[in-house]
Structure 1
Amino acid sequence: MSGPTLPPAATREAFLAAREQASRLREAVAALAQEHGWSDAVPEPFDEGSLPVFAIGNDLVVKLFPPAWPEAPGIERAALDALAGRLPVATPVLRAQGVRDEWTWLAMDRLPGWPLDQVWPSIPREQQLALMRSLGACLKVLHGLPLGDTAILRPDWPAWLADQRAHVRERQAAKGLPERWLEGLEPFLDSVALPTDVEPVFLHTEIMATHVLALPTGGAWRLSGLLDFEPAMAGAPEYDFASVGLFVTEGDPFLFDALLEGYGMPVAARDESFQRRCLAYTLLHTYANLPWFLDRLGEPLEGPSYEALARRWWALPARA
Structure 2
Amino acid sequence: MSLLNPWGLPDDAGYDTFSALHAQALAPWQPALEVIRARHSLPGGPFTRFALGKNAVFGCGEVVVKLVPPIWAGDAAREAAALRAVQGRLPLPTPELLATGRLGRWAYLVTARLPGRPLAEVWRDLDVPGQTRLAGQQAELLLGVQALTPPPELHFDWPGLLLRQGLELRAALQAPPALAQAAEAFLQDVSWNGPGFGRAPVFQHGDLNFLNLLVEERGGQITLSALMDWSDARSGPAAHDLISPAVNQFRRWPQARRAWAGVLAPTPEDRREATARALLYYPDDWNAILADLGAAQATSWEDVGDVLFGTA
Q: Tell me the TM-score normalized by structure 2.
A: 0.84
1:139 and 1:220 map into 2 onto residues whose CA distance is 21
Out of 44, 55, 60, the residue aligned to residue 56 of structure 1 is 60
Residue in 2 aligned with 1:289?
Answer: 282
- Distance apart, 1:12 and its partner CA: 2.9
What code does the residue aligned with 1:127 have? G
CA contact (8 A) 1:3 1:31 kept: no
Q: Could you say what secondary structure the match of 1:91 adopts? A: coil
In 1, are the aligned partners of 2:101 and 2:109 still within 8 Å (CA)?
Answer: yes
The answer to whether the Cα contact below 8 Å between 1:5 and 1:24 also exists between their aligned partners in 2 is no
Q: Secondary structure at the match of 1:247?
A: helix
Root-mean-square deviation (CA), in Å? 2.8
Other-structure match for 2:194: 194
Which residue pairs with 1:279 in the alignment?
Answer: 275
Please tell me whether residue 46 in structure 1 is matched to residue 50 in structure 2: yes
Distance 2:28 2:42 in 1: 17
- Contact 1:26–1:43 at 8 Å: present in 2 too? no
Decide which of 10, 20, 26 is 1:7's aligned counterpart: 10
SS at match of 1:69: helix
Alignment size in residue pairs: 301
Residue identity opposite 2:140 in structure 1? A
Partner of 2:167: 170
- The separation in 2 between residues aligned to 1:92 and 1:142, in whole angstroms, is 14
Out of 4, 8, 18, the position equivalent to 2:21 is 18
The match for 1:75 among 59, 75, 78 is 78
Give the stretch that moved more between structures: 306-315 or 134-143.
306-315
Range that drifts further, 175-184 or 33-42: 175-184
Check 1:188–1:214 CA distance in 2 against 1; reply closer, same or farther (3 A cut).
same
Q: Give a deviation string over 1:215-250, Cα, whole Å, max 9, x none.
A: 111121221111221221112212211112112222
CA shift for structure 1 position 79: 0.5
Greater CA drift, 121-130 or 28-37: 28-37
Aligned ranges 1:102-181 → 2 under 5 Å? 102-147=105-150, 150-155=151-156, 160-161=158-159, 163-175=160-172, 177=174, 180=177
Report the equivalent of 1:301.
Answer: 296
Alignment of 1:242-261 (within 5 A): 242-250=243-251, 252-261=253-262
| TM-score normalised by length of structure 1 | 0.82
- Return 274-283 or 21-30, whichever deviates more: 21-30
Summarize the Cα distance change of 1:294–1:89 in structure 2 as closer, same or farther, 3 Å threshold: farther
Aligned mates of 2:228, 2:203 — CA distance in 1: 14
Q: Distance in 2 between matches of 1:42 and 1:296?
A: 40
Of 301, 309, 312, the residue aligned with 1:314 is 309
| Most deviating of 19-28 and 94-103 | 19-28
The 1:260/1:295 distance shift into structure 2, 3 A limit, reads: closer
Partner of 1:27: 30
Show the counterpart of 1:203: 204
Cα distance change on mapping 1:204 and 1:143 into 2, 3 Å: same
Using the TM superposition, name which of 134-143 and 117-126 deviates more. Answer: 117-126
Percent of pairs with identical residues: 27
Q: Structure 2 unaligned segments of length 5 or more: list them.
A: none
CA contact (8 A) 1:252 1:316 kept: no
Q: In the alignment, is the contact (CA less than 8 A) between 1:207 and 1:248 conserved in 2?
A: no
1:274 is displaced (CA, Å) by 4.2
Unpaired segments of 5 or more residues in structure 1?
Answer: none
**C-alpha distance in 2 between matches for 1:302 and 1:68:** 39
Q: Secondary structure at the match of 2:67?
A: strand
> In the TM superposition, what is the alpha-carbon distance from 1:125 to its structure 2 partner?
2.3
Deviations 1:131-184 (A, max 9, x none): 11111111111111122xx2121246xxx34x4454434323454636945432
Distance 1:164 1:95, change over 3 A: closer
